[in-house]
């Protein structure tokens, strides 16, 4: 991605105080975009986890973009509406929406049978992580229609096609992927692309500060094949700068495969191996391997 290629683009990244959201914001900023980021944590120390809006905005500015941080609770439709009202008022349009916000539990149940997990787990991950993506996309499209151009990216994972962690998690990821495909079908006449993107095994802030909360087998994969969140950001920036991105609309795209096509790398100059597209369950997620 050529620096400055997105200098006239307005992007919104939901859930960008840490993790993939922060990495995507930085990747878009490297290409010169104005990046609006939503999150619930304004200042450092405002959450049990590292990361905040202020830190992400500082990273965006350092990377060469322009950062704007907006507090938003994506479980509250009125809060989300306020974000889009501000975008319309201050910018008049939106070029890129990255649906990334995800309400994960503090400790993810692993291999707990679905009849034993609380129904609240389903509600939590589907309200902020699936329904939130639908609502944000509904509000984003009217800001894209006038220029007959736009890109909606849903961040997802291989959990959408193979058993990972638990049933509610997999259904959420599958729903995110299907939503992108079906939105692409309806958006095609208007020049707006919708895709789902799979990062690989992410070296996240959560893993760094509390490795005991990450299943051991997953931690091993991250150590061996992990990538930084910025790698996914460079993938999104490359898509946003591709004049032929409509050819990819409706697809599930892997960050590592996009790196091979567009020629970008992770921050260490390497391209991590892609996660498997195999629909079979990963052996490390079998109950006999992870308890």
- pLDDT digits over 110-155, tens only? 889 999 999 999 999 999 999 999 999 999 999 999 999 999 999 9
Q: What is the pLDDT of residue 48?
A: 65
Tell me which H or E stretch contains 187: helix 167-187
Q: Please write the tens of the pLDDT for every residue from 206-251.
A: 666 566 666 676 677 777 778 999 999 999 999 999 999 999 999 9
Both structure tokens of 245: 């991105």
Cα–Cα dist 214/219, whole Å: 6
Q: Is 144:95 a contact under the CB 8 Å cutoff?
A: yes
Please give the pLDDT value at position 51. Answer: 77
Instruction: Give the Cβ contact number of residue 167 at 10 Å.
Output: 16
Tell me the CA distances in angstroms from 273 to 23, 277, 281, one per residue in order: 18, 12, 18
Around 226, how many Cα atoms within 13 Å sit in the side-chain half-sphere?
Answer: 18
Confidence of residue 4 (pLDDT cuts 50, 70, 90): confident
- Predicted model pTM: 0.92
State the pLDDT confidence band at 98, using cuts at 50, 70 and 90: very high
Mean pLDDT of 31-49: 85
Mean pLDDT of 103-107: 84
Residue 291 clears pLDDT 70, i.e. is over it? no
Q: Are 35 and 2 in contact (CB under 8 A)?
A: no
Q: Which residue has the higher pLDDT, 281 or 127?
A: 127
Tokens of 60: 């965006």
Q: What is the Cα gyration radius of the chain?
A: 18
The pLDDT value given to residue 107: 81
If you average pLDDT over each of 155-169, 236-250, 275-289, which comes out highest? 236-250
Rounded distance between C-alpha atoms, residue 60 and residue 67, angstroms: 5
* CA pair distance 234, 259, nearest whole angstrom: 8
* The predicted structure's pLDDT at residue 210: 62
Query: Could you give the percent of the chain with pLDDT greater than 90?
Result: 75
Two tokens at 280?
Answer: 């079979």
Domains and CATH numbers, the chain: 10-285 (3.40.50.720)
**Structure tokens belonging to residue 89:** 């008022």
Which one has a higher pLDDT value, 279 or 90? Answer: 90
**pLDDT at 289 (0 to 100):** 42
Give the pLDDT score at 201: 82
Angstrom distance (rounded) from CA 139 to CA 181: 18
pLDDT band per the 50, 70, 90 thresholds, residue 290: very low
The pLDDT score that the predictor gives to residue 288 is: 43
Of 218, 216, 115, 213, residue with least CA distance to 168: 115
pLDDT level of residue 202 (50, 70, 90 thresholds): confident
The answer, yes or no, to whether residue 83 has pLDDT greater than 50, is yes
- In 138-277, at which residue ranges do the beta strands (DSSP E only) sit? 150-155, 192-198, 252-254
């Amino acid at each position: 991605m050529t620096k400055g290629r997105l200098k006239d683009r307005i992007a919104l990244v939901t859930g960008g105080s840490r993790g993939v959201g922060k990495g995507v914001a930085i990747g878009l900023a490297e290409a010169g975009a104005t990046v609006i980021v939503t999150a619930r944590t304004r200042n450092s120390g405002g959450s049990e986890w590292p990361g905040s809006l202020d830190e992400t905005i500082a990273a965006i500015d350092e990377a060469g973009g322009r950062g704007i941080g907006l507090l938003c609770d994506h479980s509250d439709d009125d809060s989300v509406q306020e974000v889009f009202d501000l975008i319309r008022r201050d910018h008049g349009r939106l070029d890129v929406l990255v649906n990334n916000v995800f309400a994960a539990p503090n400790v993810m149940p692993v291999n707990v049978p679905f009849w034993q997990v609380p129904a609240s787990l389903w509600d939590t991950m589907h309200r902020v992580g699936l329904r939130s993506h639908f609502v944000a996309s509904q509000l984003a499209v009217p800001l894209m229609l006038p220029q007959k151009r736009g890109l909606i990216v849903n961040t997802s994972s291989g959990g959408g096609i193979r058993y990972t962690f638990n049933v509610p998690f997999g259904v959420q990821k599958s729903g995110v992927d299907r939503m992108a495909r079906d939105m692409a079908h309806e958006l095609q006449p208007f020049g707006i692309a919708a895709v789902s993107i799979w990062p690989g095994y992410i070296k996240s802030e959560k893993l760094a500060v509390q490795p005991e909360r990450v299943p051991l087998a997953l931690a091993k994969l991250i150590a061996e094949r992990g990538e930084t969140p910025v790698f996914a950001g460079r993938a999104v920036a490359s898509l946003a700068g591709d004049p032929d991105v409509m050819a990819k609309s409706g697809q599930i795209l892997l960050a590592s495969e996009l790196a091979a096509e567009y020629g970008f790398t992770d921050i260490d100059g390497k391209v991590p191996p892609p996660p498997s597209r195999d629909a079979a369950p990963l052996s490390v997620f079998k109950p006999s391997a992870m308890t």
